[in-house]
Amino acid sequence: MRREPPQRFPDYGPLMFPAAMLVVFFVIPFATMIAVSFFERQQGGFYEPAFVFDNYGRFLSLFFGKVLAFSLFLAMAVAAACVTIGVPFTYLLSRSSRGTQIRWLVVLLSILSLSEVMIGFAWSTLLSRTAGITNLFAMLGLMDAQALTPSFGAVMTAMTYQALPYTVLVLYPALVRLDPTLTEAARTLGASPVRAFFTVIVPALRNTILATLIMVFIFALGSYLLPQLLGRPQHWTLSVLITDQAIYQSNMPFAAAMAVFLVLVSLSLVGLAVYAGRQKEAA
Amino acid sequence: MILLRRLFFFAVGLFLALPLIVVAGVSINEKQTLAFPPQGFSLAWYGEIFLNDDWRNALFASLTLAALSAALALLVALPLAWFLWRRIAPWANIFQLLGIAPFTLPPVITALGLLTFWATSGFYGQPWTAVISHAIFFVTLPLVTLSLGFSAIDRSLVEAAATMGADDQTIFRTVVLPLILPYMVSGYAFAFVLSLNEYIVAYMTVGFTMETLPIKIFNALRYGYTPTMASVTVLFLVIAALVFGLIARFGDLPKLLGAMGEDR
């Protein structure tokens, strides 16, 4: 059937329900949140309509600056770690047999879909004193059993764990389509496999890697439970702070303002990622 | 090179498996202790999920929520994907963008937006608000798999049906639907598994009136530890592996994931 522009009103029929659902339950909530970010907070967790910038003004505090800087730093570190492991891993995976690929994809999808609560619980167990990995080292006589949480290392490791499957799945399509003759040529000319990887594959994928870095960065920015479960209060991120303000401090306007801010950061980064992706096609 | 690859795969596999091995070990402890290697052997903590009222209710809530919200997500995605494939209407792509947005942004944003919305409209805390919230949050998944399914349909097939006098409805029912059914199933399955595990949106919309399993685990973590958390984690991991394994068995998983990456 040829695609044709809708002509009569009934042609629009199929669009009605999805459009209504998305507008009512995504666009309007989004707009509500933006509106609330300008509202005035009342005593006792209520808020009333107003148009004030106070909630945004609170961003200028040292405390907020610290949380923001830490969130960005943490997300960047996680993205860097994931891409460093993910690129060679996905490259090798894309060159494996179909059966191996499918098995790994099932494993990665299963871990990716695992609840953040469960990942946090699993890591807090692995890093605990009584059931943790230090028991293994203690058995070998390397050190005494001890708790490794809460700590920055624990937050960082668990977030890398959470984001690594995502990284591999984002990289996978680009790497599968990568022209295999590229490496073959490099190998024929005498480059070792490792050398070929760094001098041919990585440069060819420069923009894909950049786009992936940004996507993983946004993904890590959204982590809200792991810093809470595995870190100290100074390891809290913007996402944790938003939840905390909305639920426990009952300060919806301030939480909404921070969320709007997070949207702006994320959207500009998505724009950047899309731009980086386009560059690849042009090259 | 092959050795290097094996070694690297093994290292990544170990990193991914280690916390899960410990959780699986902890889940078979005989007493209510957090010990690894496990002391004694007992499957009682798996029985606890179904025998203890609190855990069973949470499991039931999670399964109901996931089944309903994935169905609603599919109902939103199917007509949209069909329209975008059938018609030339570039402006309608905005709805595709809206469908993908909640999944791309940090989840806390969608969660907070829905919280303010349900609070303002006065429905805050009603169980059905979680169904709609999850459906919107995960509509991306069926939307992406269905777009892929439609793009794989040979248009001449549909053209033939149209030439023979079939109208849109008949074509949809007899030609299109059978061809995209596998994509509907995988889209539903993806949304189902992710909804089962989702925490923040569920917590912000119905966290104080209803306990899904992830919410239950988080609440329980604050008061200490029980091996049931470990057995639930293992159960969820098995469900996910089973669902994705089935998709891989009956569908083309590499192709599905290739398209998903492309759309981002």
- A129-178 pLDDT tens trace: 777 777 777 777 777 777 777 889 999 999 999 999 999 988 998 888 87
Per-residue pLDDT, averaged over B179-203, amounts to 91
Band of the pLDDT at A78, cuts 50, 70, 90?
Answer: very high
| Mean pLDDT, residues B129-152 taken together | 91
Identify which of A21, A11, A27 has the alpha carbon closest to the alpha carbon of residue B82.
A11
Q: Which chain A residues are Cβ-neighbours of B105 within 8 angstroms?
A: 218, 222, 263, 266-267
Closest to A36 measured CA to CA, from B118, B166, B251, B158:
B118
Amino acid at B69: S
Domain boundaries, chain A: 68-282
Put residue A139 in one of left, alpha, beta given phi > 0 → left and psi -120 to 50 → alpha.
alpha
- In words, the CATH class of domain B52-263 is mainly alpha
Domain boundaries, chain B: 1-42, 52-263
Q: Which of B34, B200, B260 sits opposite A130 (nearest CB)?
A: B34
Instruction: Assess whether pLDDT exceeds 50 at residue A283.
Output: no
What CATH number belongs to A68-282? Answer: 1.10.3720.10
Give pLDDT tens digits for B79-138.
Answer: 999 998 888 888 888 898 898 888 888 899 999 999 999 988 888 888 999 999 999 999
d(CA A194, CA A202): 11
- pLDDT tens readout for residues B252-261: 888 888 744 4
In the predicted model, what is the mean pLDDT of residues A216-224? 88
Q: Report the residue from B104, B218, B248 with minimal CB separation from A270.
A: B104
The pLDDT confidence band at residue A81, using thresholds 50, 70 and 90, is very high
| Closest Cβ–Cβ partner in B115, B230, B253 for A105 | B253
Give the distance from residue A242's alpha carbon to the nearest chain B alpha carbon, in angstroms.
8
DSSP bridge pairs for A4:
B87
Phi-psi region of B125 (alpha: psi -120 to 50; beta: other; left: phi over 0): left
| Chain B contact set for A110 (CB, 8 A) | 237, 240-241, 244
Interface A-B, measured as beta-carbon pairs within 8 A, has a size of 274
Least confident of A14-18, A118-122, B27-31, B126-130: B27-31
Query: According to the model, what pLDDT value does residue A280 have?
Result: 56
Chain A residues near residue B260 by CB distance under 8 angstroms = 169, 173
The whole-angstrom distance between residue A146's C-alpha and the CA centroid of its chain comes to 30
The pLDDT value recorded for residue A223 is 87
**Chain B residue with minimal CA distance to A159?**
B16
Q: How confident is the model at residue B262 (pLDDT cuts 50, 70, 90)?
A: very low
Q: CB B218 to CB A5 under 8 A?
A: no
Count CB atoms within 10 A of the CB of residue A177.
11
